[in-house]
Structure 1
């Protein structure tokens, strides 16, 4: 009977246990809550048939959710994003390097561009800065910009600067489900409408400053100086840079294009374009009025300088008569009439006073004094 040797039991060492643990697949449980949005994210929401879905998901989860329903889209709002955040957002929503680069810089001119399946709409924001009085350093208009990236199932808004907050725009638009159901272009319309409304509000406040400046220029005691007028003109130029270039993109959106807003929203864009035309007319009128005020003030300064020169010339003529009389009788010639007259000194002073009073009266009558 064969006796087989008992199998020897191999001794397990610590390195063997580590190698087995590394080869063994580990099970990971998904977190109960999704990742948090970066600080640059103002708000993120998914809309289905014009209604906001509960919660504020991470933009990656929101984008995934919007792709599952053809009647949904995601609206991601960013404010001064960092390059890392904007790069991650761009990769999630399919934005190319050009879009990411544009979104990281501010000061863009209002424009409308289309690259592949993404439309880029850039608008300038404007806000009126309250001030007690206009000085040569007063800030009247504060501007920024907002960039709107519009895709098939998403809209990403990137805002630079303090003015132009979009929180109220989102809240108001969420109350208009019929318009919001039109998709991402409804967000573009709401932002355009709010920007144009702000242009008109700023123009109204600037008009008040112009009226006060006009009153000070034509008042009896003028307090408006050239630096004050020039400062307000610079602020109006800043407002013009925001308002005037916005005409081209809004007019393009109001006309029937091949790619753009749905037909149901074009009439709303037409209404916004009409309001923008009013803002453009008012800003241009204010600029022309300010040019007139500036020219008037320069003319007033020229007249005031001319009056000063006339007064100086009149007093110089009066002084010249005194100098002439004193110079003649100060020559000390031996044979001069009335040189040794007893009343010669008094007569000379009387002659000088009479000449001075006569010239003063003549100059006052002619308006020189």
Structure 2
């Protein structure tokens, strides 16, 4: 657990947690905590039992905002994409009048990226801290969306050039991830809308209007992932069409080969009969002539089929 006094973007480490219980002369306290630290923090800051229980739960938390007497409890999901799977990490936030507590199970990049922004914008209020953090979380969805779009385009190119059976599992897996993420974006969008519209006494009225920009971005993200879902459906159709075309191509080649060998089979069948009176059987050049006829016939049919683009 790290405790910092933040005033005009400048960080001052605090060693004694008791210091953060009362409001500072200027600035606010930022407590960056792990889930295990909540046992100590709950009685000191009067954190609501239900909010702490949600943080300690192993179950996946939906984005939400809970309004309690002396603090707000906000859950938003940070996103990460490693080219194989999409990961959502819950970011639990307790917002008070003079403090903000961030609680995570894993390291979240947005918190690391936030530190220089606090200094650049000379942040001195926990509500401003909340705004910048939520803004970073939402913006990161655009970054992940761009990577997903690039993966879809590459997958489409691979399917059109060299279709493989493994492509189907990639399509199904990525589409499932996008559908799952689409369900999560709905509640998160509503949380941001609440921060934008509801009368919240712990958030400055002027600052609250800025949440409308974040909400618009959240709506764009939701629409973008809806588009990705449609693209994955189109990609699956393209895969099935490519497989069908390849099967048709193979069948066309086999059919052409069968057609070429059919007259050759007839010739060998005729001369394979056990009749004594067949003039060509005793001809000196009969064998060579028949072989030459069969080769000429096969080559001739091959070029005729190539000219008609049958093979």
Q: 1:16-74 CA deviation, whole Å, 9 max, x = no partner?
A: xxxxxxxxxxxxxxxxxxxxxxxxx1x323457x67684414333311x22x87x8653
Q: Distance in 2 between matches of 1:180 and 1:271?
A: 21
Length-normalised TM-score, structure 1: 0.70
The match for 2:17 is 59
Q: Which moved more, 1:249-258 or 1:341-350?
A: 341-350
Structure 2 residue aligned with 1:157: 102
Q: In the alignment, which of 246, 251, 258 is matched to residue 309 of structure 1?
A: 251
CA contact (8 A) 1:216 1:224 kept: no
2:50 to 98, 107, 110: 98
Paired residue for 1:352, among 294, 303, 306?
294
Number of aligned residues? 309
CA distance in 1, matches of 2:152, 2:65: 33
After superposition, the C-alpha distances for 1:223-267 in whole angstroms (9 at most, x for unaligned) are 995055555545655654654542111112211346663322221
> For residues 11-160 of structure 1, what are the structure 2 equivalents within 5 Å?
41=1, 43-46=2-5, 54-63=12-21, 65-66=22-23, 73-79=28-34, 81-82=35-36, 85-105=37-57, 107-129=60-82, 138-139=83-84, 141-160=86-105
**Cα drift, residue 148 of structure 1:** 1.0
Q: Is the 8 A contact 2:63 2:191 kept in 1?
A: yes
Measured in 1, the distance between the counterparts of 2:5 and 2:287 equals 105
Asked whether the 8 Å contact 1:126–1:199 carries over to 2, the reply is yes
For the pair 1:275 / 2:220, whether they are aligned, the reply is: no
* Structure 2 Cα separation of the partners of residues 244 and 315 of structure 1: 57
Task: Assess if the C-alpha contact under 8 Å between 1:125 and 1:242 holds in 2.
Answer: no
Report which stretch shifted further, 301-310 or 106-115: 106-115
- Structure 1, residues 70-106: CA drift from partner, whole Å, max 9, x if none? x865331113x32xx3222112111233222211246
Deviates more, 1:188-197 or 1:349-358: 349-358
Unaligned 5+ runs, structure 2: none
Distance 1:349 1:204 in 2: 63
Alignment of 1:102-251 (within 5 A): 102-105=54-57, 107-129=60-82, 138-139=83-84, 141-177=86-122, 180-181=124-125, 184-219=126-161, 226=167, 227-229=169-171, 232-233=174-175, 236=178, 240=182, 243-251=185-193
Once residues 276 and 239 of structure 2 are traced to their aligned partners in structure 1, the CA distance between those partners, rounded to angstroms, is 59
Larger Rg: 1
Change (3 A) 1:53 1:205: closer
Kept after mapping to 2: 8 A contact 1:199/1:243: no
Cα separation, 2, equivalents of 1:340 and 1:173? 103
Alignment check: 8 A CA contact 1:121 1:147 kept: yes
Cα RMSD, aligned residues only: 3.4
Mean Cα displacement is larger for which, 235-244 or 349-358?
A: 235-244
Aligned-residue offset at 1:307: 0.7
CA separation of 1:53/1:258 partners in 2, compared to 1, >3 Å: closer, same or farther?
closer
State whether residues 45 and 76 of structure 1, in contact with CA within 8 Å, keep that contact through their aligned partners in structure 2: yes
- Following superposition, the deviation at residue 158 of structure 1 comes to 0.7
| Pick aligned residue for 1:284 from 216, 226, 240 | 226
1:288-337 deviation per Cα after TM superposition (whole angstroms, max 9, x unaligned)? 33443343233223212211121112112222322222222222134557
Is the CA contact 2:85–2:177 (under 8 Å) kept in the aligned structure 1?
yes
